[in-house]
Structure 1
């Protein structure tokens, strides 16, 4: 069953209207602040990018559908901070009555030394978070090979995170490129290790993804991990 966030290629949601090229990066001031606080909290090292993506996917269906983009980010961040023990629920409330009742200075947070200071931001952002890794898993496919995707879904954790969209389940495509070996999100999102494996760019004809594609000869390229794929029988 498709989960609420797995919306790619779904009918009935209306046309996509791209933003104009001169649109501001952050239409609202708080959007930039939401991005900043998310990056700063990520620098604490208590979760990885796949865990954070899964946290957004785990928002309640009503919140996911009604929240704007950055509201999803903030809601998932709040959930992560509590789930990982960085903060308490009462720390995120508007009024912390316990704190108001005491004039004593709070002890330093255990993660205070990992705070992302302003002078480190540029270097941290420039370094990024590379996901390519060495792995003993050999590449099974080469450019030009025909493959078929498996049924979308995490095979390690029921209802878990995966990067294979439902609309591409059981579709035939062709390998365009091998990207090397990269962290496997289905494992990494659930604390089961990075488990790197080969990652491929796979091309699909629109007609092979949707029975009534508006432009059947269009091509969709997805980056897919090896365990999402199986060879096409000759």
Structure 2
């Protein structure tokens, strides 16, 4: 399945131009507000990071390709707020009912922001299936590079890696599986590996064939060789 957001290694999108060290953290004032609103809404506890990523991926191709980074964030957030019943379309248009919201007590206060950001959202877990692979072992990425649980669902497996042979670099431990977590199917934690690939294994005409690319891939994304 072709996914408009799955742009890694794709030809025709032009070079990646890194910003200089003196570039501002936010290019526009509203970018900071978009980030703040997104974090504040996430603190309401109605979705997780995988759900929010999938919301951005589900923007229409037309919108996804023309929106800037934070436009994607704020547009997907509006979709999530309505989908999860937190707000209505009328609320977003400033025409909703007045009064205290049912989730008001979960509001992220200014004095708690630093602590919330420092805490983050760790995804490592105990338990789960035993690791199948060990460092140095050759593996192949499964085909297709789609969510195996939900048709058209969220996955962290990039399309350009489908079918490629790589080598286990290290085991990161057991982590929440985004393919499950994004769709309310539970955390389904499983081993997560750093897998190294030669550029020539990923692309037909790499500029530097012997360059190495390291991808973090869940166990269910991989097959033994």
TM-score normalized with structure 2 length: 0.98
**Residues 121-153 of structure 1: CA deviation (Å, up to 9, x unaligned):** 011111110000112300001111110000200
Aligned twin of 2:200:
207
Aligned twin of 1:75:
75
1:136 & 1:78 partners in 2: Cα distance? 34
**Residues 90-119 of structure 1: CA deviation (Å, up to 9, x unaligned):** 1111x52x65xxxxxx33211000000001
Contact 2:137 2:168 in 1 (8 A): yes
Q: Tell me the CA shift for residue 194 of structure 1.
A: 0.2
Q: Are positions 1:121 and 2:123 aligned together?
A: no
2:17 & 2:117 partners in 1: Cα distance? 30
The SS at the match of 1:37 is helix
Contact 2:128 2:191 in 1 (8 A): no
**Tell me, which stretches of 5 or more residues in structure 2 are unaligned?**
none
2:161 aligns with one of 139, 153, 168: 168
Q: Bigger shift: 133-142 or 186-195?
A: 133-142
**Tell me, which stretches of 5 or more residues in structure 1 are unaligned?**
100-105
Q: Tell me the CA shift for residue 41 of structure 1.
A: 0.3
1:113 & 1:87 partners in 2: Cα distance? 16
The SS at the match of 1:36 is helix
2:189 & 2:172 partners in 1: Cα distance? 12
After the TM superposition, which residues 24-43 of structure 1 pair with which residues of structure 2 at under 5 Å, given as runs?
Answer: 24-43=24-43
The SS at the match of 2:18 is coil
Q: Tell me the CA shift for residue 31 of structure 1.
A: 0.5
2:27 & 2:100 partners in 1: Cα distance? 35
Q: Tell me the CA shift for residue 21 of structure 1.
A: 1.4
Aligned twin of 2:137:
145
**Residues 45-95 of structure 1: CA deviation (Å, up to 9, x unaligned):** 0000000000000000000000000000000000000000000001111x5
Contact 2:59 2:76 in 1 (8 A): yes
Aligned twin of 1:8:
8
The SS at the match of 1:125 is helix
The SS at the match of 2:105 is helix
Aligned twin of 1:159:
152
Structure 1's consecutive aligned runs of 4 or more residues displaced over 2 angstroms after TM superposition are none
After the TM superposition, which residues 85-234 of structure 1 pair with which residues of structure 2 at under 5 Å, given as runs?
Answer: 85-93=85-93, 95-96=94-95, 106-151=98-143, 152-232=145-225
Aligned residue pair count:
224
Q: Tell me the CA shift for residue 16 of structure 1.
A: 1.3
Q: Tell me the CA shift for residue 15 of structure 1.
A: 1.3
Q: Tell me the CA shift for residue 37 of structure 1.
A: 0.4
